């Protein structure tokens, strides 16, 4: 490996938002091949929003988002599809096709994006299911598997094309402690085997610290901290420590921030009822 491999994902001074609401600004982020990067932050802090910027679903209002060295704002049509084919995404909640069985869910990206034969699809899907421990569940319908198994099927689907970048949005949510540990370890081994880059969005500090090379913590509309798990654990930053220890008291607020959109909505509402 070269001393400075080209980053798979690079954010420089990125600002993101919806309408008149700026969710995040000044985000600098770098993900290298072979790295698992954990993206942490409270609910509503903008983690899924960051992921949308990486896939090109949302454009930066300021700064640049580069994936595989390409500026996502400049990509449209076929070149954008080509970049997306090099990424695997595990959506928040899994989003499996409930009318397809386990096998067809994992086969789906192969059918969409490759021209390989049915026998190659069979081998490839079974091998991917094997790596998540579900080879023998290939024939089951989605309604017949547990939520932990469904998460592993979603993981298999996200990696079946052997992507260079995998984005996992809350892969641990709703899993029991054993499934959670297994899923975390799977993300690490898949990243090592494929030598891809993985971004894992999670609230789970305990499970992500051991598998992550780098951790980014976002909150209050900005990047609060980033570093190796050891660096962050040793930091004295109050916000960071509150997050890492899950303390209810500290600088992290519970309330959704006040926006002009809310003020407009409330004014209309009051006007409508004459209050
Ligand atoms: N499509 C959208 N249009 C307008 N606002 C949005 C949209 N999606 C998200 N938001 C707002 O952007 C902010 C960040 O949302 P986001 O979904 O990125 O948070 P998150 O960190 O992923 O939260 P969670 O941990 O609950 O999934 C929230 O305040 C949310 O209300
Ligand atoms: Mg989210």
Output the pLDDT for position 249.
Answer: 62
Give me the residue label for tokens 């901290």: 225
Token digits of residue 159 = 């990696």
- In degrees rounded to 5, what are phi and psi of residue 272? -60, -35
Provide the mean pLDDT of the chain: 88
Residue nearest to atom 8 of ligand 1 (CA): 49
For residue 62, give the H/E element and its range.
strand 62-67
Angle between helices 102-113 and 118-131 (to 10 degrees): 120
Mutate to test the pocket of ligand 1, among 38, 48, 254 (most ligand atoms within 8 A of CB): 48
Atom of ligand 1 nearest to the CA of 92: 27
pLDDT tens digits for range 31-52: 999 999 999 988 889 999 999 9
Average pLDDT for 231-235: 86
Residue 80's pLDDT band (cuts 50, 70, 90): very high
Residue 273 Cα, ligand 2 centroid: separation in angstroms?
A: 34
pLDDT tens digits for range 113-161: 889 999 999 999 999 999 888 999 999 999 988 888 888 899 899 999 9
Mutate to test the pocket of ligand 1, among 47, 58, 220, 261 (most ligand atoms within 8 A of CB): 47
**DSSP-derived secondary structure for 141-205:** BGGGS-HHHHHHHHHHHHHTT--SEEEEESTTTT--HHHHHHHHHHHHHHHHHHT-EEEEE-S-H
For the sheet with 70-71, list strands across it.
21-31, 9-18, 62-67, 70-71
Query: Cβ(14)–Cβ(62) under 8 Å?
Result: yes
Residue 170 Cα, ligand 2 centroid: separation in angstroms?
A: 7
Residue 127 Cα, ligand 1 centroid: separation in angstroms?
A: 35
- In degrees rounded to 5, what are phi and psi of residue 65? -115, 115
Residue 32 Cα, ligand 2 centroid: separation in angstroms?
A: 23
Residue 129 Cα, ligand 1 centroid: separation in angstroms?
A: 32
Ligand 1 environment, Cβ below 6 A: 18, 21, 23, 41, 43-49, 92
Q: In order of start, what are the domains of the chain with their CATH numbers?
A: 9-86+163-273 (3.40.50.300)
Residue nearest to atom 7 of ligand 1 (CA): 18
Residue 227 Cα, ligand 1 centroid: separation in angstroms?
A: 24
Average pLDDT for 189-208: 88
88: left (phi over 0), alpha (psi -120 to 50) or beta: beta
Residue 229, C-beta contacts closer than 8 angstroms, at least 6 positions apart: 209, 210, 212, 215
Q: What is the CA radius of gyration of the chain?
A: 20
Ligand nearest to the Cα of 20, by number? 1
Residue 214 has pLDDT above 80, yes or no: yes
* Spatial distance between the Cα atoms of 169 and 163, rounded to a whole number of angstroms: 16
Q: pTM for the complete prediction?
A: 0.85
Q: Which range, of 18-32, 60-74, 225-239, averages the lowest pLDDT?
A: 225-239
Residue 17, C-beta contacts closer than 8 angstroms, at least 6 positions apart: 23, 24, 49, 61
Residue nearest to atom 30 of ligand 1 (CA): 44
Q: Which of 196, 193, 192 is nearest to 164 (CA)?
A: 196
Token digits of residue 203 = 């609230």
């Amino acid at each position: 490996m070269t001393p400075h491999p080209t980053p798979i994902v690079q954010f420089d001074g990125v600002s993101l938002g919806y309408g008149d609401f700026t969710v995040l600004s000044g985000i600098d982020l770098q993900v290298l091949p072979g790295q698992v990067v954990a993206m942490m932050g409270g609910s509503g802090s903008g983690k899924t929003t960051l992921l949308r910027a990486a896939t090109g679903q949302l454009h930066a209002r300021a700064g640049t988002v580069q994936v595989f060295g390409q500026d996502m704002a400049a990509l449209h049509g076929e070149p954008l599809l080509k970049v997306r084919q090099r990424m695997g995404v595990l959506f928040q909640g899994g989003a499996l096709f409930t009318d397809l069985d386990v096998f067809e869910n994992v086969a789906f990206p192969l059918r969409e994006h490759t021209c390989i034969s049915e026998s190659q699809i069979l081998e490839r899907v079974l091998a991917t299911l094997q790596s998540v421990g579900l080879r023998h569940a290939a024939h089951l319908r989605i309604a017949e598997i547990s939520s932990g198994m469904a998460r592993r099927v979603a993981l298999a689907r996200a990696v079946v094309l052997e992507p260079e970048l995998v984005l996992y949005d809350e892969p641990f949510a709703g899993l029991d402690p054993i499934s959670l540990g297994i899923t975390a370890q799977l993300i690490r081994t898949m990243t090592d085997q494929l030598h891809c880059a993985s971004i894992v969005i999670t609230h789970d500090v305990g499970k992500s610290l051991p598998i992550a090379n780098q951790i980014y913590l976002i909150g209050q509309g900005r990047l609060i901290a980033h570093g190796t798990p050891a660096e962050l654990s040793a930091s004295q930053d109050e916000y960071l420590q509150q997050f890492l220890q899950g303390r209810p008291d500290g600088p992290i607020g519970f309330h959704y921030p006040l926006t002009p959109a809310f003020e407009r909505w409330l004014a209309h509402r009051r006007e409508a009822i004459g209050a």
